[in-house]
Amino acid sequence: MKEETLRDIGEFECIHRIAHDLIYRPELVKLGAGDDGAVFMTPCGYDEVISTDTMVEGIHFTKRTMSAADTGYHLCAVNFSDMAAMGGEPVSFVISAALPGVLSFTWIESCYDGIRECCREYSVNLLGGDITGSKQGVILTGTIVGIVPENQAVKRSGAQEGDIVFVTGTLGDSSAGLSILLDGKKEEYPMLAIRHQRPKPQIDFGRILRESGASSLNDVSDGLSREINEIALASRVTIELEKERIPLSDELCRWGQDCGKEPFHFAINGGEDYELVGTISKKNWEYVKGIGGVTGIGHVTKAGKGQVFLKDKNSIKLLTIAGYDHFRS
């Protein structure tokens, strides 16, 4: 039996079929999807935070490396991660989808299953969006609105001399996971593959770090070298990282040993880990370091032009930006 395509069922029937199970925090919604616009509330005492991210087929994903459900989940996760990097929580999400008419309805239905799964996991309301045609493959854009207590959003520009530099989790797993998926070795290194397909936005860590006095935050979307340089430039400070302290997972190290690749390269330049990197005073670090899952990897040495140096045993060198660039990679 021939599989139904979007061209077969049309735009409005597609919308009708996927527009269900969208609200996970009803107390914040006055009017959900279905009208010309959604109406939602912001709790008293909170600022709103907004961000957007796009996934383009052939650049951010392929049907070889991600299932439809993985793609939907991933779209949510990368958007929600921006809220974590501000110390906030995601609450409302809209999606613009440009889809080829030849795309099977089964694919978009499964994609929205992944979207709903991630929204449910993080209690985010899906308030609608837009669907249109595409002649260039699947293009998905998410726009996320979050909340953070008034005047408490954590910026990139707050790092101070003497601060400890930290990261959550382990780095390099997602980039290695992409290589593994392309090589067809998911069964041998399942954790790395999952870290690429379904990253976990660090919402809880973002809140804890904000409450603990983090002076700056950034999410590791385009590689540690880029994200830490962004903090140094925005804060106008000099940062020194210690190579041996940058956390690597056991599976990443095993994969590197098996295939003769340097795990550290993936950790520093790989991107799409969606962990958090930031700075915090030495006093506040004493509390944070006891939480677990947060590693100190360096310190802010002085006010400066916005540079990062990498210390490795007896040498120290400038850490240039080498993470992902959409127009150069």
pLDDT confidence tier of residue 327, bands split at 50, 70 and 90: low
- Express as a percent the part of the chain with pLDDT over 70: 98
Average pLDDT over residues 70-94: 98
pLDDT confidence tier of residue 1, bands split at 50, 70 and 90: low
Q: Say if residues 92 and 59 touch (Cβ distance below 8 Å).
A: no
Average pLDDT over residues 97-107: 97
Average pLDDT over residues 186-210: 97
Give the pLDDT of residue 272: 95
pLDDT confidence tier of residue 313, bands split at 50, 70 and 90: confident
Q: Evaluate the CA torsion angle 168, 169, 171, 172 in order and state its sign.
A: negative
Beta bridge partners of residue 279, listed in sequence order: 165, 216
Burial of 97 (0-12, 13-18, 19+ CB in 10 A): buried
The three-state (H, E, C) secondary structure of 280-322, written as one string? ECHHHHHHHCCCCCEEEEEEEEEECCCEEEEEECCEEEECCCC
List the one residue out of 151, 312, 299 whose CA is nearest residue 232.
299
By residue count, the chain amounts to 329
Average pLDDT over residues 283-312: 95
pLDDT confidence tier of residue 314, bands split at 50, 70 and 90: confident
Domains in the chain: ranges and CATH: 6-149 (3.30.1330.10), 156-318 (3.90.650.10)
Residue type at 327 in one-letter notation:
F
List, for residues 218-276, the tens digit of each pLDDT value: 999 999 999 999 999 999 999 999 999 999 999 999 999 999 999 999 999 999 999 99
Strand ranges inside the chain, DSSP E? 29-31, 39-40, 46-56, 89-99, 125-133, 139-149, 164-168, 216-219, 237-242, 276-280, 294-303, 307-312, 315-318
Q: At residue 328, does pLDDT exceed 80?
A: no
List the one residue out of 282, 277, 294 whose CA is nearest residue 235.
277
Q: At residue 2, does pLDDT exceed 90?
A: no
